[in-house]
Every structure is written in C-alpha cells, then in structure tokens.
Structure 1
Amino acid sequence: MDISDLRSIATVAALVAFVGIWVWAWSGRHKKDFDEAARLPLDGDEE
C-alpha cells in the first residue's frame, strides 16, 4: 500500500461523508427544524 492508495481511500471516504450529509440535510424529517432555523434572522429582537 503506497501513498496513492491512501489518497484514493481518503477521497472515497470524503465523498461518502459528503453524500451522507447531503442526504441527511435534504431528508423530509428535518424540514421543520431547518425552516425554523431559517426564520431566526427574520424574527428579530421582539420585546
């Protein structure tokens, strides 16, 4: 195993992690939480 194999493994692992996070973020189960978080800057400081 040389450095090229390690680089290939690291690239594949990074791609799998990216796709996993992307699928998690776009799943329907989290839509409500993300919509609430998106509204936070618009709510402002109401007293």
Structure 2
Amino acid sequence: MFLIKMRQIVGNDVEIVNSLNRAEDQLAYLELPLKSDKTSKIIELLNY
C-alpha cells in the first residue's frame, strides 16, 4: 500500500522507488536487547 501511494506521488522513477524500498526496510527493522523488561513487555504485547 505504501509503495502504491508513493508511486502515485513520485512516479515510476527506478532510483526513487528503490530508495523508498530501502527506507521502508530500514523502518521495518528494529533491534531489541535480549534481556530487558521493555523487551519482555513488547513480546508479551505482540503475542496477544
């Protein structure tokens, strides 16, 4: 959905589309510490 809307705005320029894909991947990746109360709480919430 994100990519479709962005293509409507910026067109089909390959460099822009590739840049958007990389940015979306970076936003989707999140590194959490293994032993943390916050990490445990996040995992607990995601399991519901």
- Name the TM tier (shorter chain): 0.3 to 0.5
Normalized against structure 2, the TM-score is what?
A: 0.44
Please tell me whether Structure 1 or Structure 2 has the larger radius of gyration of its CA atoms: 1
Q: By percentage of residues, which structure has more helix? A: 1
**Higher relative contact order, chain-length normalized (CA < 8 Å, sep 6+):** 2
Normalized against structure 1, the TM-score is what?
A: 0.45
